[in-house]
Amino acid sequence: MAQSQRISQQPSQLVDSYGRVHRDLRISVTDRCNFRCSYCMPPEGLPWLPREEVLTFEEIVRVARLLIDRFGISSIRLTGGEPTVRAHLPALVGQLASLGVELALTTNGATLRLLADDLAKAGLNRINISLDTLDPERFRNLTHRDSLPQVLDGIDAACQAGLHPVKINTVVMRGANDDEILDFAEFGRSRGVEVRFIEFMPLDAESNWEDQSVVGVDEIVSRIGSVYPLEPLAQGSEPASRYRYLDGQGHVGVIASVTRSFCHLCDRVRLTADGQFRNCLFATSELDLRALLRGGASDDEIAAAMAGSVAEKWAGHQIGQVAFIRPRRSMSQIGG
């Protein structure tokens, strides 16, 4: 295998044909998960990747270093599956933190009490914790696990470890948990964490998604604003539309992937646990980086392949339109 070397030249831009410059890398470190969320995978789980098909830490770091050095990637987010089930995760965090970019993690939070301090010490900057209900019985029904106390304790552990800001990701599904929107707003305000509501997207493993299940950004903001007045903040390349509570009690966000697509602002690329490079969350094709990494490809060849993939990125996902094509993989297999 060709060894990666630190690159001295100035980075060029990872740009597509629509002029979008890509600066954010999402890395899925595993397809495995200790939850069975109903919108993500069936109760019995999914076939896990054989361990030999999952990228090693060295391979992950090589790709990350290339994207930073050649193209100026400035932020990395680790995802899964559930990234904390990957053994020795703080070691990977430390290796990536040494590359000098902002480093974040998305997790279900169930084991954060055990890991939060080690992750922070290794160089993790920020954390997002997925939590779709505050009701214990509903939590069991949604996740097929009885772990709400551990997740709530994990949120406290993340705050105590200094992983600021702590953000809570809540997928809103009509008829399942949309009656908790105000409860989550109050939870964020009282805990000093930022809740980010996420519109339900067609990436569920059992393909049960329907337009009617989506609770849109306007409805979410209206429900919260009727009790806690809000004002919008300017949106950059981040996926969330953010709002400030007028009484100064923090912020709330909505990721409106369906009703108010932000594809024109997208600056993200993704690396799956098995080494597939994706230029869009909803991409229907992938670049096999694992084959290049394990086949002796040079840094130049790998960088050129990634640049070519991004150059071919489409304008947007077209959810809700006739032209929309559902990806063959579920969210847990792609990475958030």
What pLDDT sits at residue 202? Answer: 60
Q: How confident is the model at residue 42 (pLDDT cuts 50, 70, 90)?
A: confident
Which residue has better confidence, 275 or 37?
275
- Name the least confident of 110-114, 129-133, 171-175, 186-190: 171-175
Q: Find the helix or strand (DSSP H, E) in which 104 lies.
A: strand 102-107
Helix (H) or strand (E) holding 288: strand 287-288
What pLDDT does residue 159 have? 97
Q: Given this model, what pLDDT does residue 154 score?
A: 98
CATH 2.60.200.20: does it fit domain 24-167+264-334? no
Distance, CA of 272 to CA of 285 (rounded, Å): 12
Query: Percent of the chain scored above 70 by pLDDT?
Result: 88
pLDDT of 26: 97
Domain residue extents for the chain: 24-167+264-334
Q: What is the pTM of this model?
A: 0.90
First to last CA, the chain: 29
Length of the chain in terms of residues written? 336
Q: Which long-range CB contacts under 8 A does 94-97 form with residues at least 24 apart?
A: 94/122, 94/123, 95/57, 95/61, 96/60, 96/61, 96/64, 96/123, 97/122, 97/123, 97/124
- Per-residue confidence at 281, pLDDT binned at 50, 70, 90? confident
> Rounded to whole angstroms, what are the CA distances from 45 to 27, 41, 133, 207, 215?
21, 6, 21, 15, 26
- pLDDT tens-place string over residues 204-240: 545 554 577 889 999 999 999 999 999 999 877 788 8
Written as six digits, the tokens of 205 are: 């493993």
Let me know: does 84 contact 56? Beta carbons within 8 Å: no
Q: What is the pLDDT of residue 289?
A: 98
